Amino acid sequence: MHHFRRASAPLAPFAAAVLVAMGFSDALCGTLPPVVPESAATGVAHDYRDKHFDYFVSGNPAAPRAARTTFMLALMGGGGAVDAAYVAIARHAGGGHIVILRAVSDDSFDPEDGKYGKSFMTKWGPVVSAETIVFHDRDASFDPRIIARLKGADGIFLAGGDQGNYIRYWKGTPVQAALNAHVLANRPIGGSSAGLAILGHYSYTALDGGSMESKEALADPYNTGVTIEIDFLHLRGLEHVITDTHFSKRCRLGRLIVFIARINKDHPEAEAFGIGVDEQSAVLVGADGIGRLAAGSAGSAWVVVPGRAASVLAEGQPLSMDDIRIDRLDGRGSIDLGTRRVSHPAAMTVDAIERGAPARMSIASPIMMRNVVPSDED
């Protein structure tokens, strides 16, 4: 939880000189919180706080960037780390500079926000540096210091939290442009939980502040909580994809089917399909467009491809839709994102929804919807 309040203090002279050397001279206006050394071993970069964002660093971000990077997508379901996915980001980033992005909706501070960077340096790397930027508002997305760090990133990771903050803060800003340019330059990007939720060309935004339950979405696909973004990130391989997270544990198959049905009705050219990723699980997509479950994944990935349009899809009416192919992917299988073909699925079914409920029992029925939401679920 973010619970420490911002406290101002004069910028230390040595720290000020360090920031100027790093190109952060704009930070030297008024007063800022104290700059805390990350490590005496690096001797260069330091954590600091700005009015609009927090900055954590491990390693040396002033070092030359990686000589070579390769395209890779890491789709992480949240609920716990899959080490192999982070190792893949570091490897495809050529052991260079990693930038981790987070966002919060207030000016709170969490000293643990730099932990991903430390893990990239000590466990998932080696990497030259790992910088974490925590956005507190939309103004941060126009800060030239942040844009410079994104443009210099060899690999990017989008952490969990609230995907609504990512959309509110980044859409229509230089951050959005930098993220899309990063992948076009054949550099890796990954996201977990909320970070995964925005990686697809289409995304569920949770802009109403809630988390849409499958039961409610199936009962009324035009529920005001079904908030979908169609023009944010444009990543290779995900041109027709909407992703979902915490998939089996939170019974999100029903809502993903609704998202797909809505997108394809409102935007027929989309030809959208879905990928749901379980907790403590990840799908790694290579330059060939083939996605495979990462080693060490505790669960599965689910590929949801509609065979036809919904027969009943209207405001205030429960969804009816048939010919929905659902494949469960484990470590033996793969998904070709270009053809949507799943090779060696662990299980497969073709399901139907009638008046907002599964028409029959199948391997997918247990994760279609739930009646009770745990009180401690974030």
CB 176 within 8 A of CB 64: no
Minimal CA–CA distance to 155: which of 223, 79, 73?
73
CB 92 within 8 A of CB 285: no
What are the pLDDT digits (tens) for 326-355?
999 999 999 999 999 999 999 999 999 999
Minimal CA–CA distance to 199: which of 348, 74, 298, 103?
74
Q: 5 pLDDT exceeds 60?
A: no
Q: Which residues, at least 6 apart from 265, have a Cβ–Cβ distance to it below 8 Å?
A: 309, 310, 313
**How large is the angle between the packed helices 144-151 and 174-184, nearest 10 degrees?**
10
- Both tokens of residue 169? 């803060």
Grade residue 378 by pLDDT with cuts at 50, 70 and 90.
confident
CA quadruple 369, 375, 377, 378: dihedral sign: positive
Q: 289 pLDDT exceeds 50?
A: yes
Tell if the pTM clears 0.85, that is, is over it: yes
Strands (E) located in 147-202: 155-158, 189-192
Alpha-carbon span 208 to 33, nearest angstrom: 33
Q: Which residue has the tokens 């952060």?
A: 24
Grade residue 376 by pLDDT with cuts at 50, 70 and 90.
confident
pLDDT at 364: 96
Going from N- to C-terminal start, the domains of the chain cover 13-367
Is domain 13-367 annotated with CATH 1.20.58.1030? Answer: no
What are the pLDDT digits (tens) for 117-148?
999 999 999 999 999 999 999 999 999 999 99
CB 45 within 8 A of CB 24: no
Grade residue 41 by pLDDT with cuts at 50, 70 and 90.
very low
Alpha-carbon span 273 to 127, nearest angstrom: 35
Alpha-carbon span 299 to 304, nearest angstrom: 16
Supply φ then ψ for residue 295, to 5 degrees.
-60, 140
